[in-house]
């Protein structure tokens, strides 16, 4: 059992990417914050095998669900600049 435990009081969603846990708790900020997005919530939820608990107001969760990241990689512009044969 000792070799299978990894102590952690809390870690960020980003730190948890690529890992899975039986249960997770997502602590939602009381005030609106920019990093809380639909994509971040999705990543948090998909870290749990069995249970997810949200700690915070329903309004905070709703704000996160409604905010989405707009990607701006510039890929389309770069592809448009490629000369066609």
- CA pair distance 35, 40, nearest whole angstrom: 8
Q: Which domains does the chain have, with CATH numbers?
A: 2-81 (3.40.50.300)
The model carries a pTM of: 0.69
Closest CA to 39 of 71, 7, 9: 71
For 38-79, how does the pLDDT look when each residue is reduced to its tens digit (9 = 90+)? 999 999 999 999 999 999 999 999 999 999 887 777 777 778
Rounded-to-integer distance, Cα 37 and Cα 35, Å = 6
Q: Quote the DSSP letter at residue 49.
A: E
Q: Which residues pair with 53 in a beta bridge?
A: 25
Q: What whole-number distance in Å separates Cα of residue 82 and Cα of residue 56?
A: 49
Q: What is the pLDDT of residues 18-28, one digit of tens each?
A: 889 998 989 89
């Amino acid at each position: 059992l000792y070799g299978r435990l990894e102590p952690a009081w809390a870690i960020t969603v980003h730190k948890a990417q690529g890992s899975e846990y039986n249960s997770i708790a997502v602590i939602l900020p009381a005030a609106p914050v920019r990093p809380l997005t639909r994509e971040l919530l999705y990543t948090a939820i998909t870290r749990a095998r069995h249970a997810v608990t949200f700690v915070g107001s329903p309004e905070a969760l709703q704000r996160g669900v409604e905010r989405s990241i707009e990607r701006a990689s510039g890929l389309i512009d770069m592809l448009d600049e490629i000369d066609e044969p």
